[in-house]
Structure 1
């Protein structure tokens, strides 16, 4: 007989494993960001930006498929297989001898991008409803753990082994975590993708159309920043985005098995949440990507902000960012349960905007880094759990993994747009012939734009009618879905009468 204590202990074990397993995605970003300077020395600034953004763009393709597969064949299987593909990608990145092979490895690493979305669905399936908001906060707080540990770990690895050391560590971590996940996660039900109804098949072409459209958009924006918006390459990129988007919409609108359920996107609660999430993550990823590069810029005449720090020393000035994110996860869960997830998201966006504006004043003011990083990190931690609860409240149980996959797509799009496109603003102010050093004006402009994007996200969330009541762990969505079904049944009955 299972006691309440045994049940709580089992839930804590599942929660711990989910944090470890899903930590690979944010940890991958947190480790690679400190390695950006080393990557730029080997492949140039454009190559480093591409290496950083490639994993997010690949995740855009994988996440809808992973959410769909998880709903069909089981969440545990998806978590384990995505972790295995991530391990293979990490090994390829660690041994790659050229930029194309490194980019291929990063694409394979993108397979783990949907792990957090599937983990949210596992929490929703496993935990009592009243514990779901806080449990989501704990899972999200893994982002904070990576923010604290990763800068120091990444700095030590980069200083000693270069960027390859980061990927060797990620490979070793995956090999250690996967057996723990196989032992601790709840078993999947006896479902088989081959026995699933026709409406549950995978739409791989649809996911590819979406991912290619996202990649073309991010590349086009980055090129527009560097070369001007009238450049032929930008116009061609925008044309490709338009054609791919139209193709995606025409394919998905009438399919019983879409990669992205357009019916969910028609819901204002889901649509508003996704737009706000994309904008918020664009702001956070821009700052997280550029800050280590700013601190690691070697001292040079005319660069008043150039502190000349090593990767490990730079981590000592930014660890409060991870500390704030770690606190923001559980605090955001409690705030969502008591005051509603919309309030959590608004607080997060305000803190992110304040932090980004603070970073815009950093060149030459290193003493402010610790304080501004704490404010910014708290906002980032609150944002992740706020949007996780917003999407959980908006979708019914049977679409849990698919719905949370949407928020993961939004986060990855924002990450790619911030690191690959918005961060490119700094390249408008180069210093020196090699194209790896930039004036403080470029960093200020990029940070200010990140703050502006966060404020735009705040306005979007402020207009949102969804999420104003305390979070229910998905029970509200379930009640809404049930009431809709009752209304339909009543209408059908009246019609028959």
Structure 2
């Protein structure tokens, strides 16, 4: 037992220590106010995100016109496929390298690469050249998608979700990319090439702003304590992990992209890369866990945190399956079922429905998401809503245009918020903010790979289902109206389903043609229905993963900042020296 005098002495010591600690924290804790320089740096990152979205959405929206002008070439879809290939791989690799070496020059390289990709595209004279443009876009896009990690580490922790909301809200402009692309085609003399000039102008603007305003901690600042050189760090990199990750991602995405298009799914050219990719990922997992690595490409400590990290990868994988596949499936579905042939502007409006949903989501992300907290509950609600509405899309028929439009917009609005929620939850759940680049990069990689997987699976489902249903639908329909001509000619034209194909049918009445076209639509309706029913199963997996996540601890939403701009740090040091 302490005497009264000892108690008083102990209390005095505690008060002195507490006072000293408080004053030290006040002196060392970064100011919650965001300076003008930081605001301009964040603005440059927002414009980088806009530029990134333009290079993703615009070329994909006008692929058919590029192929009509420079083709026809059966490989034209690779103009946009290569974007996903490059971005999915680079965003994690680039994030990890930026964690180690500093972010500034990686982001500048991304913007400059994308600008070069736009120039290659605008001068394109062949489909292979346009594919090269897509490859360069993908490389640049992978580095540009690091903007979510870069913006979060510049602001106080309590403002991370709000900053992400501002970034999502700002993509209103890029959301009109599809219809803007169709406007360029309709009203400009250079047609689809105007889309690439548009992308080039944004990339140049982004590069200029990044160069003058984005100056995060340099290599020297990051390693002022360990005094390591770039050569030392290069030698300490996870070279085996980098090779396995890049090779496995590339083989998986190539196999999925080839399947059902360039090659049958049972082809060795499709099966072999997918199997090798799976083996590569398994080997990568064992390597990362068993090897004693200073800078692992996939830090095992992240994957051990199921509720704060791994479950969010599952959620974003499924969200990506829906978002990126919707950008492929919906334009196809709407043009087949609802749009008059040759109406370019209306085609662009329908293609833009998914983006209209992201506009609604932007308002939620800035007006609701940061302020209500309970991130886990938000995730669960979004995944349940998406899954339920996917079920609604499975019931869409030829006459259900209003239902289809409303459902697609709402599904898209529900699909976007899980990404910024996951970015914020992952970043604030890290034990070491030095891993923010690779952690947020992996979220983006899983979302992009999910889109590639879904695009491959869903496209294969509806094309194979259509090929099985269409002959029977057409035959039954024309026999019902008494047609006694050659059925094989009708089936050949119906399989192509173009005005040129139907024009080759001689002696066929307009009634028969209308009947064939209606039967083709009915076959497509049932084909897309199966796609959406399959998507429900993936949605259930995402709901389960969302339930197992954990909301961010309110204590972590503090005034602390992961990093400051170099200019701000120099100014802070100068003020301390003067004091």
Question: Which category of TM-score, normalised to the shorter sequence, fits these structures?
Answer: 0.7 to 0.9
Q: 2:424 aligns with which of 385, 389, 392?
A: 389
| In 2: Cα distance, 1:200 partner to 1:434 partner | 60
Pair 1:250–1:12, CA change in 2 (3 A): same
Question: Which has the higher mean CA deviation after the structures are superposed, 304-313 or 341-350?
Answer: 304-313
Contact 2:92-2:437 at 8 Å conserved across structures: no
Which residue in the other structure is 1:445 paired with? 527
1:97 is aligned to 2:135: no
Paired with 1:11 and 1:383, the residues of 2 have a C-alpha distance of 26
Aligned to 2:3: none
Query: Does structure 1 residue 460 correspond to structure 2 residue 542?
Result: yes
TM-score by length of structure 1 reads 0.81
* Conserved? CA contact 1:90–1:171, under 8 Å: yes
Give the corresponding residue for 1:146.
174
**Alignment partners' CA distance in 2, 1:461 and 1:256:** 35
CA-atom RMSD in angstroms: 3.6
Q: Distance in 2 between matches of 1:286 and 1:447?
A: 14
Q: Indicate which of 214, 217, 220 corresponds to 1:188.
A: 217
TM-superposed deviation, 1:109: 1.1
Q: What SS class does the counterpart of residue 469 from structure 1 fall into?
A: coil
Number of the residue aligned with 1:272: 311
Q: Is the 8 A contact 2:34 2:155 kept in 1?
A: no
Cα deviation 1:124-179 (Å, max 9, x = unaligned): 222122211111122233444422x2122111234454544322321222112211
Alignment partner of 1:291 out of 330, 349, 356: 330
CA shift in 2, pair 1:413/1:95, >3 Å: same
Equivalent residue, structure 2, for 1:315? 348
Q: Corresponding residue for 2:205?
A: 176
In 2, the alpha carbon distance for the partners of 1:45 and 1:294 equals 22
Residue 130 of structure 1 is aligned with which of 158, 171, 175?
A: 158
Contact residue 154 and residue 166 of structure 1 kept, 8 A? yes
In 2 relative to 1, CA 84–146 (structure 1 residues): closer, same or farther, beyond 3 Å? same
2:77 counterpart residue number: 49
Map 1:65-464 → 2, pairs under 5 A: 65-115=93-143, 117-147=145-175, 149-159=176-186, 160=188, 161-191=190-220, 195-196=229-230, 198=233, 201-203=236-238, 206-225=241-260, 229-249=265-285, 251-253=287-289, 254=291, 255-269=293-307, 270-297=309-336, 305=338, 307-308=340-341, 310-317=343-350, 319=352, 321-332=354-365, 334-335=368-369, 337-360=371-394, 361=396, 363-396=398-431, 397-428=433-464, 429=466, 437=497, 439-440=520-521, 441-442=523-524, 445-446=527-528, 448-450=530-532, 452-453=534-535, 456-464=538-546
What residue in structure 2 maps to residue 494 of structure 1? Answer: none
User: Given that residues 51 and 206 in structure 2 are in contact (C-alpha distance below 8 angstroms), is that contact kept between their aligned partners in structure 1?
Assistant: no
1:473 and 1:288, CA in 2 relative to 1: closer, same or farther beyond 3 A?
farther
What does the per-residue CA deviation read over 1:428-487, in whole Å, with 9 as the maximum and x for residues that have no partner?
Answer: 3368569765954446534653564365245334344654435659659x9xxxxxxxxx
Please state how far the C-alpha of 1:222 moved relative to its aligned partner.
4.9
Mapped to 1, the partners of 2:386 and 2:71 lie a distance apart of 31
Distance 1:38 1:403 in 2: 38
Structure 1 stretch 243-252 or stretch 23-32: which is displaced more? 243-252
Is 1:36 aligned to residue 63 of structure 2?
yes
Instruction: Please give the alpha-carbon distance, in whole angstroms, between the structure 1 residues aligned to 2:173 and 2:533.
Output: 24
Cα pair distance change 1:311/1:454, threshold 3 Å: farther
Change (3 A) 1:260 1:366: same
| Separation in structure 1 between the aligned mates of residue 495 and residue 422 of structure 2, nearest angstrom | 37
Quick one: structure 1 residues 96 and 318, their matched pair in 2 at CA, closer, same or farther if it must change by over 3 Å?
closer
Q: Does the aligned pair in 2 maintain the 1:31–1:150 contact within 8 Å?
A: yes
Query: Once structures 1 and 2 are overlaid, which stretch shifts more, 106-115 or 171-180?
Result: 106-115
Deviations 1:271-309 (A, max 9, x none): 211122112111111111222234445xxxxxx545325
Q: Which runs of 5 or more structure 1 residues have no equivalent in the other structure? A: 298-303, 479-497
Matched with 1:493 is: none
User: What TM-score comes out, normalization by structure 2 length?
Assistant: 0.70
Whole-Å separation in 2 of the counterparts to 1:252 and 1:291 = 39
2:542 & 2:314 partners in 1: Cα distance?
8
Deviations 1:210-253 (A, max 9, x none): 23323433443455546665443333233322343345345544
Aligned CA distance change for structure 1 residues 143 and 115 (closer, same or farther; 3 Å): farther
SS of 2:120's partner is helix
* Bigger Cα displacement from structure 2, 157-166 vs 76-85: 157-166
Q: How many Å separate the matches in 1 of 2:63 and 2:316?
A: 25
Quick check: 2:462–2:531 contact (8 Å CA) kept in 1?
no
Structure 2 segments unaligned to the other structure (5+ residues): 1-30, 468-490, 499-519, 561-579
Residue 382 of structure 1 and its aligned partner are, at CA, apart by: 1.5
